[in-house]
Amino acid sequence: MITTLKNELLTVRISSHGAELQNILDNRTGHEYLWQGDDAFWGRRSPVLFPIVGALWQGRYRMDGQIYEMGQHGFARDMEFVPMDSPEDDEAWFALDWTEETLARYPRKFRLEIGYALRSERLTVMWRVRNLDTREMPFQIGAHPAFNYPDFHASDPVHAYFTFGAQGPLYAEVIKEKGCVGDEISEIVLDPERRLPVTAGTFSRDALIFAGRQVRRVSMLTKEGQPYLTVFSDAPLTGLWSKSADAPFVCIEPWWGRTDHVDYEGEYHGRSHIQALVPGATFEASYLIIIDGI
């Protein structure tokens, strides 16, 4: 099922499958900002990452003394959400409740609600995680929206630029093995205008992971340096990623969680950047996509 939000500037569509964003379309020019998925590169568009962000070392984790297996980024992105009544006409909400199937992979009862609010050139993505269990609920949640490069040509020396709402040097954690981080921290080299040129080599070692709330705002500029879009959040981590040197998209990812460290085989609640809810409590977070090119 597809739900549509529309105003004079943008049309936004969301699928109930994964409550996943499908389109961010400029109504005047017809330009599509959101990557449309292509299995030749990456078949998804903007999946929600829950109840883990990133990869588990060896694809498994321990909770309550038991071993469970789970694929990268969790299971919510592949499940059908139920559309909810929305409080406003410019909002759309979706819910996913625990099932016996989810309990076999993640032994906590939960409710995950995902909302979208379209106002002018701004799209707010909202999350509510409710602990319906009788025990504390550790979890992670994150976003993975992919955006089309404007006027993409694989041979261009620069595909786009990133600017960051941060002063001073920036440092990124580096993926080492099987999607998991090691101990290496890399300083990100910016140009004299404090921009990060996105080139064929930017993601040669997988994602760039900015921890410690170094980055709250990431703005994407065209290869000519013109405003294109901005992602803003208060997330403790932000990831930047693209599939390959010739992939025509890039992801800007606010995360409340992070992939495992290599060799980590401890309890789930000991994973890096875990969120935790006592029984009956609710976690709320959001991020904002601003279409600067309008």
One-character DSSP codes across 153-167: -TT-S--EEEEES--
CA 99-105-107 angle, to 5 degrees, is 70
Q: What is the pLDDT along the chain (294 residues), one digit of tens a residue?
A: 999 999 999 999 999 999 999 999 999 999 999 999 999 899 999 999 999 999 999 999 999 999 999 999 999 999 999 999 987 789 999 999 999 999 999 999 999 999 999 999 999 999 999 999 999 999 999 999 999 999 999 999 999 999 998 888 999 999 999 999 999 999 999 999 999 999 999 999 899 999 999 999 999 999 999 999 999 999 999 999 999 889 999 999 999 999 999 999 999 999 989 999 999 999 999 999 999 988
104: phi then psi, degrees, rounded to nearest 5: -70, -20
Report d(CA 128, CA 118) in Å as an integer: 18
Burial class (CB in 10 A: 0-12, 13-18, 19+), 116: buried
Report d(CA 290, CA 205) in Å as an integer: 28
Give the pLDDT of residue 244: 86
Burial class (CB in 10 A: 0-12, 13-18, 19+), 142: buried
Asked if residues 177 and 262 have their Cβ atoms less than 8 Å apart, the reply is yes
Which residue type sits at 189?
V
Rounded CA Rg of the chain: 19
Asked if residues 244 and 41 have their Cβ atoms less than 8 Å apart, the reply is yes
Report d(CA 18, CA 20) in Å as an integer: 5
Give the pLDDT of residue 168: 84
Nearest to 256 by CA among 241, 282, 270, 276: 276
Report d(CA 207, CA 246) in Å as an integer: 15
pTM of the model: 0.96
Show the DSSP H helices in the chain as ranges. Answer: 100-105
